Structure 1
């Protein structure tokens, strides 16, 4: 094999396809039972914020009505089809293959699996995403809280919270979508550190992603942005209407927990049954700890997805890796093509130096 790809979600699948297109031989390793990444574990009602026509990986259209917003299960089915197509193209995909460590071995990299197997390859792409590493901020007094604290990664549907008092922490798309559906069955508040920023989902009758495409925003170079902004909430109007009519409310972030209560910024106290933390994720790359390819915060040392510590090591699916869409279905393919080209050049140079 030329390249070991770690992770069988959207980034890993795009990597395998673009490596094949570049004439390289990939081996894709997926820890789960199928190469569909984290999508099967997202909450039940999740829908994409981009229409199907803008949500495809390289070489395979999403299919169906291009203007619809695909549901979670449609994405899972699409990724499964994509993996099967890769198999027909002679890309090897191994499921149940959890990577525990990557080491430099003098010839490239040694990739160690949980079952004791060690594989070697001259290049590696870390495309394992971040869903398995949810960010859980430390909140004052949370050890004393007698209610439930969970991350959005562990939220599935409204059933367990019917009739309860719930606070959702976060101001992004997932936080608002979860709070909106909870509001139909329970009393819910969005707790945020700043007001929620909304953007019209269909300005001038066209989905926002149409305008992103025609204006070139999808390709805007991330290295030109010193402090990337947070993602605003896309809304066709229903979320803002829910806030206006009181079905959903937003308050400044609470200051601490106290027993079965939270203490709001104005000093008032309130009993709360559950707190859902829609506070994002961090790259899931602990298998690179021994390699020295990460900084002290666990983030990869890279420039546009190419490791600055190890030639032949690449990253895929990171937020703002090369563009604002690098960690999305619609954008990861561009980064994958770029990385495949760079790795092909690296491997060609390496073979030339070895006299191959």
Structure 2
């Protein structure tokens, strides 16, 4: 089957939905396509206890407030429910269970090949987000099968684990939350690659995100001094739960995991440890192997763009970390990029049609 549109948006998560909102205000024909079976599935599949650090007033996409009281921290399922309600409310055209296998440029148009046929479009917005392929160290493959290993993206609840201690490798926000929760029921280690920088969730009774937003920090252009400084600072862990758990020895600290020996993990301080359960909270890598257009990606496989605008005409990216600012991949601020990118593609369209 062949489909023809002015715009195809690849990905129907928070970034794709935000793009869909602005496209729905125009006269352009468009569709959002997504490999998942339902909207919000990426959130619903996360670990059971996940709650956002951004309060509800900073979790809204364009045109629809998040439906909870101020300062409420939504759960992963509440975010998924909100995204589903958003898509329904604005009647966004979405094709689910549609996996993209190839993106090509044919003359002035784009051809998107999927498991449900071909999509032809004059413009394409890639909204597949920053959490694409789980990143796990290669040395993990050397561990024997009786060691249970799981990436944080596939860890849902403690029932997945076998008897005995657990180590969480990686101390970003996900790793910190998982380690603290597990420490209440299991002997828990955490492997930390560099000193953790903790951030208060509230200051003088207000969410830290109130200050980041009000002072323009979270929306500071990455090309400004303020934005550049924010980008090079290490990831902050919000809240002090992990710090307190470490101080009370409820979570035991190991340095960076660097290799294995037999059934043991080896660490940067030349120690080794046998732990029957390993949760890799080691982040993600991008995968654009399906894009078959020259000069779209750099040598590292990352998109070449200026705040989401590709040098290839009528091709755009949205939802990536630091696309234009710190908030680019966050619920409450991805709409800023969506509006700017929509205005660019619609202006170009208007000029071309004049």
Q: TM-score, normalised by structure 1?
A: 0.92
Counterparts of 1:1-356 in structure 2 under 5 Å? Answer: 1-87=5-91, 91-115=92-116, 117-139=117-139, 142-146=141-145, 147-161=147-161, 163-224=163-224, 225=228, 228-235=232-239, 237-290=240-293, 292-308=295-311, 310-352=312-354
2:8–2:31 contact (8 Å) kept in structure 1 = yes
1:162–1:186 contact (8 Å) kept in structure 2 = no
Relative distance call for 1:282 and 1:37 in structure 2 (3 A) is: farther
Relative distance call for 1:321 and 1:165 in structure 2 (3 A) is: same
User: 1-side partners of 2:104 and 2:353: how far apart?
Assistant: 20
| Deviation at residue 263 of structure 1 after TM alignment | 2.4
| Deviation at residue 99 of structure 1 after TM alignment | 1.3
| Deviation at residue 283 of structure 1 after TM alignment | 2.7
Secondary structure at 2:242 match in 1? helix
User: 1-side partners of 2:269 and 2:114: how far apart?
Assistant: 51
User: 1-side partners of 2:259 and 2:170: how far apart?
Assistant: 15
User: 1-side partners of 2:52 and 2:170: how far apart?
Assistant: 18
| Deviation at residue 107 of structure 1 after TM alignment | 3.0
Secondary structure at 1:223 match in 2? coil
Q: TM-score, normalised by structure 2?
A: 0.92
Secondary structure at 2:8 match in 1? strand
The range that moved more, 74-83 or 284-293, is 284-293
Paired residue total: 345
Relative distance call for 1:2 and 1:325 in structure 2 (3 A) is: same
User: 1-side partners of 2:244 and 2:179: how far apart?
Assistant: 13
User: 2-side partners of 1:263 and 1:22: how far apart?
Assistant: 56
Residues 292-338 of structure 1 deviation map (CA, whole Å, 9 limit, x = unaligned): 41222221111100012x11000010010001010110111100001
| Deviation at residue 230 of structure 1 after TM alignment | 3.1
**Unmatched tracts of structure 1, length 5 or more:** none
User: 1-side partners of 2:132 and 2:152: how far apart?
Assistant: 12
Relative distance call for 1:289 and 1:329 in structure 2 (3 A) is: same
2:10–2:32 contact (8 Å) kept in structure 1 = yes
How large is the RMSD of aligned CA atoms in angstroms?
A: 1.8
| Deviation at residue 23 of structure 1 after TM alignment | 4.3
